[in-house]
Amino acid sequence: MHALTFDHFGPADVLRWNEHPDPAPGPGQVLVRMRRVGLNFADVYRRNGNYHLAGAAPWVLGYEGAGVVERPVAGDALFPAGARVGFADMPHANAELVAVDRDRLIALPDDISDDVAAAVLLQGLTAQYLVTDSFAVRPDDVAVVHAAAGGVGLLLVQMLKTLGAVVLGVASSEARRDAVIAAGADVAVGYGEWVDAARALSGGHGADVVYDSVGRTLPDSLAAARIGGTVVFYGMAAGDPDPVDPRLLMDRSLTLTGGDLWNVLTGPEARRERASALFEQIRRGALAPRIAARFALRDGALAHAFLESRTAIGKVLLTLS
């Protein structure tokens, strides 16, 4: 098979489309022929050497995608050969063939395309737990979403609006703010004005919840939350945040909570139930993933460069025929 590989850390041009040994599925694993792969900033961080990579070079990136079962677990009626499947958390997805734990597979309904599955499984399940597990959103809550034009951000805005929240999206350019408004946000502003905008939108009280995936903005997120409000920290796209003095939380009765998808995908039943709820939102038209661009997997270096340009609005997909 072929895979998108790299043997040293660096910019996008370290990626190469090379011959690579076929994966050998272990016990309880299924061999999947990939059709679509979702590209995420975590792939960029791993390529740069900022995230842990297991094993030795050459490495293969990618954690989510959609494809067809090529070699099932013997006697498996749920995922037989030819079944359409997706997954959100299995390594080495940047390849023609991927060995996937059966317990991590999600069956794809006929009305959920490969594009949609690869665009929403990781980021859609993330947005889903942010509005349910990390903070239980109620009607009329004022919610601030950082990086609102990104893959998670646009889905998060839509989910918040479905739950009746008043949403302020923060994005870095006019085009990105236009996309945030199109996704349903009540207000979209840039990073130089969002704290004041959050206070104005909430009648001066501050936001009920701030979703912070930027990291360096955490002090401002805490300042923008109301007394008794919540900040959900779930990413650090701009770097690690400064330490938080717990007296600040005490003085304003703030809640600072972390969010990690892997703490809620506790087993095959949980991931399939959550994915089913996600697909139903798409089916009802309450959630519409936006595809920023598609690149052939062999052109993965171009896709990485595009994602790093910060001009992508929505999800970047890697395709295989």
**Which pLDDT does position 307 carry in this prediction?**
94
Start-to-end C-alpha separation, the chain: 13
Last residue of a domain, one of 227, 258, 289: 258
C-alpha span between 34 and 15 (Å, rounded): 18
Q: What is the pLDDT of residue 44?
A: 94
pLDDT tops 90 at residue 6: yes
189-192: long-range pairs with CB below 8 Å, 24+: 191/217
Cβ density class 276-302: b for 16+ within 10 Å, e for less: eebbebbeeeebbbbbbbebebbbbbe
The predicted-structure confidence for 144-160, as pLDDT tens digits, reads as follows 999 999 999 999 999 99
What's the pLDDT score for residue 310? 83
Please state, in angstroms and rounded to a whole number, the distance separating the CA atoms of residues 175 and 311.
9
For position 106, which CATH number holds?
3.90.180.10
Per-residue model confidence as pLDDT tens digits over 214-245: 989 999 999 999 999 999 999 887 788 889 99
Q: What is the C-alpha to C-alpha distance for residues 224 and 231, in angstroms, rounded to an integer?
A: 9
Note whether 144 and 244 are same-domain residues: yes
**Cα 262 from Cα 220, distance rounded (Å):** 27
Domain that holds residue 7: 2-121+264-319
Closest CA to 158 of 186, 135, 177: 186
pTM of the predicted model, to two decimals?
A: 0.93
CATH of the domain at 251: 3.40.50.720
Best CA proximity match to 315, nearest among 118, 50, 74: 118
Of 258, 288, 307, which residue constitutes the final position of a domain? Answer: 258
50 pLDDT higher than 90: no
Number of domains forming the structure of the chain: 2
Domain-terminating residue out of 234, 258, 282:
258
